[in-house]
Structure 1
Amino acid sequence: MEVSSMHIRETVREDLPAVADIHVKAWRKEARHLFSADTMASWTVEDRLRKWEKNFAGATSGGTKMYTAEQDGKVVGFGLGGTMRDAKLRIRYTGEVYALFIHPDYQERGAGTKLLEEIMGHLQEIGHKRAALWVPSSFSSASYFQKHAQGPLMEDETTIKGTTLKEEAYGWDKIIVQPKQEKTYM
């Protein structure tokens, strides 16, 4: 029986088609019960790819880093983080996890945890001692952060394509990162 391995690395422009595909598929899985079929159909890989290509340079500069998770040579997830954007949270949490998406076929296999560890390592390297993130409370991923972070720290609302979603912020009062090692996980 062959053991598959997972590798975490910085995202490169050539990863963007896979990133766009993961972004759309993961979003559709999480949001399918919240939006109309027409709205769901409007989230396309082509549109998301155009947005990632346009914004990639900005998403990977100025203290922000983006990482991909590969399993057996296939990109299965991505995440990015940098300095906190929310003025209220920034009082205590200076680092932020901006995004963390795993392809639905690869969820609950450790890719999200490994990406989160890599993002936290980056945040620690650039001087952040605490970090937080926002997640829609109706998303299944919220339960992960309820178990592995403090919170909800704050609640807010965001409107996406005419639908208002409740969001919750979760945080880590101390970024704890394992010593740097090879980025291959079994």
Structure 2
Amino acid sequence: MEIRLARPEDALGIAKVQVESWKTTYQGIVPTSYLESLDVKKRQKIWQQAASNQPMYVAEIDNQIVGFAIGGENRDKDTYPDYDGELYAIYSYQHVHGQGVGRLLFEAVVTNLVDRGYEKMIVAVLTDNPTVGFYKHLGGHLVGKETISIDGVELPESFYGYDNIRKFKVED
């Protein structure tokens, strides 16, 4: 397995991971109408731009992208002012869960955040996400709950905080 910085040309592989992850992880949680509307080509354009503008990481096994993660500045400093960084997204194919892909991607993003001067990080997770234990296992603690609307359905969202992300930094 290789963890590396994403390039714009990785956008299709990243989009496929995201769409498939949503469809497998959120079936029965997120409205089916929304899951069916997810479009790889539309997501590809978004991730191509993201990979061009900020550090994003991909996990590859046998030269195939099987996961990705991206983070940066906390986008909700008004609600969670104690956290300067944020893990925006971390996804992997279900068939690689339990193989360390998520942890390595998490560590890559955190290392980048620490190198950029961030000290604490927050992540938003749908409360009913079956992989929520991943965030707890890595030391995240619940700092808040909110509700978001997806296709007109109100869904609970949990926010997990990491108060010392330096402990996850991977040394070169």
The TM-score with structure 2 as length reference comes to: 0.91
Map of 2:168 onto structure 1: 177
Residues 32 and 52 from structure 1, CA distance in 2 versus in 1: closer, same or farther, beyond 3 angstroms? same
In structure 1, what is the Cα distance between the partners aligned to 2:113 and 2:76? 16
Give the alignment partner of residue 18 of structure 2, picking from 18, 23, 37: 23
Residues 157 and 100 from structure 1, CA distance in 2 versus in 1: closer, same or farther, beyond 3 angstroms? same
Percent of residue pairs identical: 26
The CA deviation at 1:179 is: 4.4
User: Which secondary structure state, in structure 1, belongs to the residue aligned with residue 117 of structure 2?
Assistant: coil
The CA deviation at 1:148 is: 2.0
Runs of 5+ unmatched residues, structure 1: 1-5, 182-186
Residues 77 and 164 from structure 1, CA distance in 2 versus in 1: closer, same or farther, beyond 3 angstroms? same
Counterpart of 1:180, as a letter, is E
In structure 2, what is the Cα distance between the partners aligned to 1:164 and 1:131? 25
User: Which secondary structure state, in structure 1, belongs to the residue aligned with residue 168 of structure 2?
Assistant: coil
Map of 2:43 onto structure 1: 48
The CA deviation at 1:14 is: 1.2
Residues 105 and 119 from structure 1, CA distance in 2 versus in 1: closer, same or farther, beyond 3 angstroms? same
In structure 1, what is the Cα distance between the partners aligned to 2:144 and 2:155? 14
How do 1:57-72 and structure 2 match up within 5 A? 57-58=52-53, 60=54, 65-72=55-62
Map of 2:93 onto structure 1: 103
Per-residue CA deviations over 1:91-117 (Å, capped at 9, x if unaligned) read 211011000000122122111100000
User: Which secondary structure state, in structure 1, belongs to the residue aligned with residue 59 of structure 2?
Assistant: strand
The CA deviation at 1:78 is: 0.3
In structure 1, what is the Cα distance between the partners aligned to 2:16 and 2:140? 31
Counterpart of 1:42, as a letter, is S
User: Which secondary structure state, in structure 2, belongs to the residue aligned with residue 87 of structure 1?
Assistant: coil
Aligned residue pair count = 171
In structure 2, what is the Cα distance between the partners aligned to 1:104 and 1:88? 34
The CA deviation at 1:49 is: 1.7
Residues 104 and 87 from structure 1, CA distance in 2 versus in 1: closer, same or farther, beyond 3 angstroms? same
